[in-house]
Structures are given as structure tokens and as C-alpha cells.
Amino acid sequence: MRLVALKSIVLSAIVVLSTAVFAGDYGKKAKKDIVDVAASNPDFSTLVAAVKAAGLVDALKGDGPITVFAPSNAAFEKLPAGTVENLLKPENKDQLVAVLTYHVVPGKVKASDVVNVDSATSLQGQDITVTVEGQTVMVDEAQVVATDIEASNGIIHVIDTVILPAS
């Protein structure tokens, strides 16, 4: 029994430390909004460029609260070659908006809340599937790799894969 409790404590500490290391100072003070937090972290440069191209900066700077499942640059790199470049073209703005708003849910959903749900309705309108196995949380096919990065208008959870709405 003590070994199970000790393992749980150690795993929890690892998750907290990895989140702190990944997040650094990016929003822990909660004085920056979602966009400012993302823009201050070089690991989100592709996401920030996409948000700008989609015209969603003002929406993500709004009062909120919102929760963003934010794909890192490495997540965008997993997409087939040319996908990001095509999405950033002005003629594909509607598709880009759909993809980005699929990563956002209304309300401030902390990691402790995510583990108690099996889906969440995105701002795009479709449901994102949430699964939890042990310490691993998945949203659709993406693993949540850092959690609870605070912003003044919501919260960010970092994911390792870009999630896509159904066509």
C-alpha cells in the first residue's frame, strides 16, 4: 500500500516539475493573456503565426475564460509536409480557423478537471475526446505534455500533436 502511494506521489511530482520546466515563466504570473503567454514562448511560434493568419488574436485576447490545448512547434512538424504552409494561405483561412478553434474550449479547465471528463465541446463546435490512462491524458490523438499554464483570461495545456476536427 505504501509503495503505491509513494509511486503516486513521485509521478505527481514528476508531472508538476515537468510542467514547471516546460512552462518556465510563461504565464505563471497570470498577467499575460493567452496570446501573450504563447508569444513569449519560442516553442509556440508556429501556433502564434497561425493565430495571426487566422485573425484570431483579438478573440484569444478576450476576457475568457478559455482553455487552449496548444500544439507546440514539434506538434506542427508532425503534420505532412506543406500542411502548415497551405493552411497559412489567405484562401485557406476558414479551414485554419476551424483547426485552431478546435483546440479551444470555453471555460477554465484545469488538469484536475480534464481527468474527470470524456469529452469537451470546442469553440469550433465539435467535441474533443478526452481519455486518461494512469498519468497520461490524451485529447483526441494528442498527448497532454504540460498542464495548467496560467494566463489572465484562461489556461493552456500543451499537446504533442495538432488535433483536427472531422471534415
pLDDT tens sequence across 122-163: 999 999 999 998 889 999 999 999 999 999 999 999 999 999
Give 129's strand partners: 119
pLDDT tens sequence across 103-114: 999 999 999 887
> Does the structure show a pLDDT above 70 at 15?
no
Q: Compare 14 and 161 and report the one with higher pLDDT.
A: 161
Element (H, E) at 95: helix 93-101
pLDDT tens sequence across 21-72: 344 444 444 589 999 999 999 999 999 999 999 999 999 999 989 999 999 9
Q: Where are the domains of the chain?
A: 2-159
Using CA atoms, how far apart are residues 128 and 34, in angstroms rounded to an integer?
Answer: 20
pLDDT confidence band for 20 (50 / 70 / 90): very low
Query: 2-159 falls under which CATH superfamily?
Result: FAS1 domain (2.30.180.10)
In terms of DSSP bridges, do strands 66-71 and 154-159 run parallel, antiparallel, or are they unpaired? parallel
Do residues 83 and 164 lie in contact, with contact meaning Cβ atoms separated by under 8 Å?
no
Do residues 35 and 57 lie in contact, with contact meaning Cβ atoms separated by under 8 Å?
yes
- pTM, two decimals, is 0.80
